[in-house]
Structure 1
Amino acid sequence: MDSSLRVHVEDVRGEGRAAVLDRIAGYGVAGVTVAAAGERSRDITPHGPARVTLRADGVHFTPPADLFAGLRLTPPVQAGAAEEPLAALRADTARRGLRLHGWAVFLRNATLGLAAPDVTVRSCFGDRGAPADLCPSHPDVRSYAAALGRAVARQGVDSVVAEALHFGAFGGPCGFGGSGRGHGPGRGHVPLGPMDAFLFGLCFCDFCMRRATDLGVNAEAAREECARIVGGVLGGDPPAQGEVTRAALTAYAGPEAVAYARARSEAVTSLVSEVSAAVAAEGSRLVFLDGTGAVKGHDDGLPAPGLAAHDAWQLGVDLVALGDLVPSLGAFGYARDAVRVADDVGAYRRSAGEERELRVVLRPGPPDTDSADRLAAKVRAARAAGADAVDFHAYGLVPYPILDRVTAALAG
């Protein structure tokens, strides 16, 4: 089974490239997935020279001038990018027989969103309160994403692993009540239910509304209904209970709101197609990573019953359509239970079809994994359910003894 360990450039720089790569090679993985285009975060790094690492939005290379010339949005450049850390990693991984994949966070970028608020999502109330969430429907964002995909591919990586190349989740990982990402932790003392939060997170910018209208949806009616329902909860009405499903949402918010939510998949599907073509033009290939599993299991590894593949539509992801457009799909297996990992992987496999590569991201330590045996069980479950590859998150975030679990899990 193919496998890779995720790493951040800051961690490689801090501990030394040779030491990090030698240790990674010893785990038995086939490759390294480096954060070529990262996002701001505040991470505990247990074996780094800094035990808390502050990461910034942006790329770890100099953006090619020909790709971003004339574009309104250009990626922030990380400190030390002029030293070409990705080129050095490419050379050193090749010498060790390791593949190198470029992990890129596309549409979560608070630096860009704060500088140009109009490219971020707009709520049913007209607020631009999520500066890290760039809207997939906005033309400037779409041009930026295609150029970023091509720029990462040009670094000579075997694949471009695209994270956040879809709509975000309101109050998802490290959002309201979380910590560390985007514009910092949010404070929300109104008990929104899952359906209320979903409606609050829908984007009603001009471009999203126009796309929905072109697909036959009454976008203004959907916006008004979302504002009425969420506004009522913000005013003291009891929040809706239960998981977000199409049937439950139809009963709660009406058919236009559901139709509007489903129409978002057109923007995501067409954008992913454009980015995939851009990456292929540079001789690499796109791995589209659906973030639904991370949203569901991020905090405690106990995702709600709905399988991630079945809930992907909530982020505007149409897995069946994407299965025909991209060579590789990725999913997060953020669950404690190996059976749940298998169920999620199986659902992705059925949605994507048998011909597409399917990669699964696992966490070798808390909150998902409490032992080497549990990690090995999840690797076996993922493989049996149809996963072609397992990636582990992430080198700098967990102690060495937890990373050592990877060796036995892959050997098994």
Structure 2
Amino acid sequence: MDSSLYVFVEDLRGEGMDKVLDRVSGYGAKGVTIAAAYHRARDVTPHGASRVTLRRDGVHFPPPEDIFAGLRLIPPVQEGADERPLAELRRACTERGLKMHAWTVFLHNTTLGLAFPDVTVQNCFGDRGSPADLCPAHPDVRAYAVALGRAAARQGVDSVVAEALHFGTFGHGYHHERCFVALGPMDAFLFGLCFCDQCMRRATDLGVNAEVAREECARIVGGVLDGDPPAQGEVTRAALTAYAGPEVVAYARARSETVTSLVAEVSEAVSAEGARLTFMDATGACKGYADGLPPAGLAAHDAWQLGVDLVALGDIVPSFAVLAYARDAARVADDVAAYQRSVGKDRELRAVLRPGSPDTDSEDRLAAKVRAARAAGAEAVDFYAYGLAPFDVLGRIPGALA
């Protein structure tokens, strides 16, 4: 079975490329999914060159001039990119018979958002309050995403794993965020909807009264900010219709056209460079990242909240990464099976599991989740992430794969 380990360029630099790849092979993985374009983060790295690693926005390769020429948005470049670590990794993977996938973060980029605030999402009050989230409806963002996909594919990879190639959420629009107002899940969802000119125009073209939707969001969220009790319960279309009205739900659903058309353009660009796109929907992380205890709604059923229409994407994208961040093997199986029903049985599904905290406390539990993912239709099981997990946790992978 195909399996890959998510790896950071900093892991290769800190421990040595040969040493890391020898470990990857020893774990039974058939490839590495390297963070080719990443975002700001502060990570505890238990076996890294430093025990805390600060990551920055940007690419780990020189942006090809012919691809980004004339574009307003150009990706920041990571320190050391001129040493071409991805080209070196490509050679090393080829020698070992390992596949190489480019883990590419597309529209979550604080550096670009702060430099060009007009391309970020705009909430119902007119605030550009989420500088990390570039709006997928903005023409400059769309051109940037297509160029980034093409550039990542050109690094000689087997696939481009697309993270954040959709709308973001209100709760992850910046870093070191504070909110002392008790927003319910539906209030936070409404607060995170983008009402920039491009989004409003696209929704209007689809027959939605975008201005009514914006006004309703501002009225509801404004009321909660002024002291009204927040809405309780998970975000569903039925609950949202009752809470905010049909025009708001229609506006939210209209966002899927924006995402679907953009993903189609990026997938075509990636294919033109000889690779293929693996679409990573962040819904599984939104639900289970913090504790491995996702609420009842399955990720595939709630992906619409990020503008993701899995049924439509199933006609466009050859491969999907399912973020199965759950402690329970049955939940992993349910999430994978729901994705397969949505995208179709002829699409590749890659279940992404965390071998350690907070999802997994033993090799037996990890093995149970690997079996569950396979039985539910996953063709591959990948593991997140090499540099973030202690060696004893990574040591669970060989037995789980076996």
The 5 A counterparts of 1:119-134 are 119-134=119-134
Aligned mates of 1:114, 1:199 — CA distance in 2:
23
Instruction: State the match for 2:349 in structure 1.
Output: 358
Do structure 1's residue 160 and structure 2's residue 151 form an aligned pair?
Answer: no
User: Among residues 312, 318, 321, which one is paired with 2:312 in the alignment?
Assistant: 321
How far off its partner does 1:57 sit?
Answer: 0.3
Deviation sequence 1:206-237 (CA, Å, 0-9, x none): 00000000000000000000000000000000
TM-score after normalising by structure 2: 0.99
Deviation sequence 1:265-299 (CA, Å, 0-9, x none): 00000000000000000011000111100100010
Do structure 1's residue 223 and structure 2's residue 221 form an aligned pair?
Answer: no
Instruction: State the match for 1:11 in structure 2.
Output: 11
How far off its partner does 1:184 sit?
Answer: 2.0
The RMSD of aligned alpha carbons is 0.6
Secondary structure in 1 matching 2:334: helix
Aligned mates of 2:174, 2:266 — CA distance in 1:
26
Do structure 1's residue 288 and structure 2's residue 279 form an aligned pair?
Answer: yes
Instruction: State the match for 1:89 in structure 2.
Output: 89
The 5 A counterparts of 1:13-412 are 13-171=13-171, 175=172, 183-411=174-402
How far off its partner does 1:332 sit?
Answer: 0.3
Which AA in structure 1 matches 2:240?
L
Aligned mates of 1:183, 1:201 — CA distance in 2:
12
Secondary structure in 1 matching 2:54: strand
Aligned mates of 2:382, 2:59 — CA distance in 1:
21
Which AA in structure 2 matches 1:343?
D
Secondary structure in 2 matching 1:359: strand
Secondary structure in 1 matching 2:130: coil
Aligned mates of 2:284, 2:174 — CA distance in 1:
22
Aligned mates of 1:75, 1:294 — CA distance in 2:
24
TM-score after normalising by structure 1: 0.97
How far off its partner does 1:38 sit?
Answer: 0.6
Deviation sequence 1:245-282 (CA, Å, 0-9, x none): 00000000000000000000000000000000000000
How far off its partner does 1:353 sit?
Answer: 0.4
Secondary structure in 2 matching 1:128: coil
Secondary structure in 2 matching 1:133: strand
How far off its partner does 1:169 sit?
Answer: 1.4
How far off its partner does 1:183 sit?
Answer: 3.6
Aligned mates of 1:388, 1:289 — CA distance in 2:
15
Identity of aligned residues (%): 76
How far off its partner does 1:90 sit?
Answer: 0.4
Segments of 4+ moved more than 6 angstroms: none
Aligned mates of 1:155, 1:18 — CA distance in 2:
19
How far off its partner does 1:49 sit?
Answer: 1.4
Secondary structure in 1 matching 2:53: strand
How far off its partner does 1:331 sit?
Answer: 1.3
How far off its partner does 1:170 sit?
Answer: 1.5
Secondary structure in 1 matching 2:166: coil
Deviation sequence 1:117-150 (CA, Å, 0-9, x none): 0000000000111100000000000000000000
How far off its partner does 1:97 sit?
Answer: 1.0
Aligned mates of 2:219, 2:175 — CA distance in 1:
28
Secondary structure in 2 matching 1:5: strand
Secondary structure in 2 matching 1:6: strand
Aligned mates of 2:25, 2:149 — CA distance in 1:
27
Which AA in structure 1 matches 2:125?
F
Secondary structure in 2 matching 1:131: strand
Aligned mates of 2:245, 2:304 — CA distance in 1:
17
